[in-house]
Amino acid sequence: MTAPTPAAPPTRPGADAPPTADTPAPGPAATSASPTPTALWRRFRGPLLAVAVLLAAGLVLATLTSGGDHGRLDPRSPDAQGARALAELLADHGVTTRTVTTTDEAVAAAAPGTTLVVATPGLLTEGQQAALKTAMDLSGGRTVLLAPGPAAVAALTPGVRAVPATTTDTDLAPDCPLPAAVSAGRARTGGGWTYRTTLPAATGCYPQDGRPTLLTLPGRAVPGTPAGRTPHPDTVLLGSPAALLNEHLDEQGNASLALQLLGTRPHVTWYLPTLADPSAAAADERRSFGDLIPAGWSWALLQLFVAAALAAAWRAHRLGPLVTERLPVAVRASEATEGRARLYRRANARDRAAAVLRAATRERLAALLGVPPAAAHDPASLLPALATRLTRTPGTAGTAAGAPQGTPVPDDLTAHPPTLLFGPPPTTDAALVALTDHLDALEREVRSS
């Protein structure tokens, strides 16, 4: 008894006849996985907004700080952070001011009748500091160091230590017998560096945290110095240069203190160290890459290495069984199937596609025929069971049950399942589509029997 033929299923894409000359070949269909402009905007609008905010912040900061430190402590600059007002005040008292930017010029200008002002001693290299120290000892004049830090103090004024101030007070009282400080009164000398020394005859003024912010070191005779070059050379350390700036010069006793510290000699040489100084460049060229790395960075690198090793060990060692977690998105089975099919088609992998189709059909047929899953891919076990379930008689030609009209099938399904289920791979796309139809027809025949 032959089972009734069910209605023909809807035609699947790819199972139709090849396009004729009048029918254009369909192009690749768009899938739901194709990103749309709206989806791309939603995905990247966060990073783009963050980049835009960073760029805007950078522009604002660059605008606000474009002239922040320009001309700081420069006696030629009229800016708030400049020192042009002090230079004009000195000029009114007959003191000339000359600005230099190299160590060689500063060393050459050191003389008994000159006050050498070093604006930022911390920018000097070891070689520059050594040359400047020699000039200070042999000049016979006065040297004023503005806000020298620990390194500069150790090189230029041995026996003195620099300690940063811990309080925020800026306007301090003299509290010392130095005539210049006593006559000036309160001045803006706090908030920077404080100094500690055991040198004899050193005078400290304007104390903060129990340490002076203004320290004067009297001159001393240097062995081998010509007699005419040692008329009381002295050094002044000023922990904060705020009292010399244009914006604070007219406050309290700042002008008086600055005039008495810098106006004791007829000439002032104002040294503004710069990185463009040839002597600084030559010193940097002689230094190796290791010399440019601060000493504390070695410990920091060691700690980072240990942290990286611990993180690697933590991530490489699993502390328990695998835990399943939900996927961030759900992928439809149709999309996964279509994506894999497109990959097969791009690689011309008809053999792999046919192998996947045949393997899936064999597994479904084994479940229908009662064949163990382990024997689903064994021809000796699957084909005899399949032959007992087929209702067609050998030699009958036509269309397999459930197959679309016009789909050719083998004359004897009892003899040809070995070719369908275990045969060679198709060589063309049309043969692959035909194989798919035949496999579907064979499975429908078994289901309907």
- For tokens 């008809």, the residue is 350
- At 284-321, the pLDDT tens digits run 555 566 666 666 677 788 888 899 888 888 777 666 66
The per-residue DSSP string of 188-253 comes to: E--SSEEEEE--TT-EEEEEETTEEEEEEE-----TT--GGG-S--EEEEES-GGGGSTTTTTSTT
Q: Decide if pLDDT at 199 tops 90.
A: no
Q: What is the pLDDT of residues 91-101, one digit of tens each?
A: 999 999 999 99
pLDDT band at 15 (very low <50, low <70, confident <90, very high): very low
- Is-contact 379 357, C-beta < 8 A? no
Distance between CA atoms of residues 252 and 206, nearest Å: 14
Token pair of 47, please? 């990073």
pLDDT per residue over 95-153, tens digit each?
Answer: 999 999 999 999 998 888 899 999 989 888 888 999 999 888 887 889 999 999 999 99
Please tell me the predicted confidence (pLDDT) of residue 98. 94
What is residue 433's three-state secondary structure?
helix
Confidence band, pLDDT 50/70/90 cuts, at residue 174: very high
Q: What angle do CA 70, 73, 74 make, to 5 degrees?
A: 70
Confidence of residue 22 (pLDDT cuts 50, 70, 90): very low
Predicted local distance difference test score (pLDDT) of residue 17: 44
pLDDT in tens, 387-425: 888 865 443 434 443 444 444 444 443 347 788 899 899
Cα–Cα distance for residue pair 32/329, rounded to 1 Å:
13
Q: What is the pLDDT of residue 320?
A: 65
